[in-house]
Amino acid sequence: MNERELVELVAASRSYRRFDEGRPVEEGLLRSLVDAARLAPTANNTQLLRFHLSTGAEALEVMSHHRWAGLLKDWDGPEAGERPTAYVTIAGPAGTRTNALRNQDAGIAAQTIMLAARAAGLVGCMVASFDAGLAAALGLDEKDLEPLLVCALGYPAPDERVVVEGAGPERGLAYWRERRDDAWVHHVPKLGLDDLLV
């Protein structure tokens, strides 16, 4: 992979929130995503993160414990037929959710999972907004673990488009959605390189 291909992969690895529920993600593919994430760096090489894979009915259980897209106030999340078919829950030892280094580790692992997922034809969304019941639902609390981040995964809904575009004064940096040409278009404004260099 050259630099241009890496940039294209990063650009394609946007947050998708609608999936093709008729195409389940196989557990073997989820395992390969976690296998990539285990190679990612962790603070002091402590490797304290653990990963819980959910498919089928358990994926629906995970979905019932989290919220979608805080900026889309009038949207309650994907409907039946559009829900993710798999989740990877990234967990750490109980009490580490407030530890900055462990959250950085989880973020690096989640980004690695998302890039590997996109390279495999999947899409996903990192979710940090979930309720306290998720740990019990997955049996993490019995292992003295707590969820740090959740990666919702699946194949993209056929009528879902995500567009990365320059940030403009009329909309700012808030992502937004519109229905256009029989598809949902999710707009992701990004600042330009010159705006970021200091």
For 67, list phi and psi in degrees, rounded to 5.
-110, 165
Residue length of the chain: 198
d(CA 126, CA 121) in angstroms, rounded, equals 17
Give 168's strand partners: 172
For 142, list phi and psi in degrees, rounded to 5.
-70, -20
Coil/strand/helix, residue 169: coil
pLDDT digits (tens, 9 = 90+) for 7-60: 999 989 999 999 999 999 999 999 999 999 999 999 999 999 999 999 999 999
pLDDT digits (tens, 9 = 90+) for 164-183: 999 988 888 999 889 998 89
Q: Please give the order of strands across the beta sheet that includes 123-127.
A: 50-55, 86-93, 145-154, 123-127
Q: What is the pTM of this model?
A: 0.93
Q: Please give the order of strands across the beta sheet that includes 183-190.
A: 160-166, 183-190, 176-180
Helix, strand, coil percentages in the chain from 3-state DSSP, rounded to 5: 35, 30, 40
Percent of the chain with pLDDT over 90: 86
Block residue for tokens 């700012």: 172
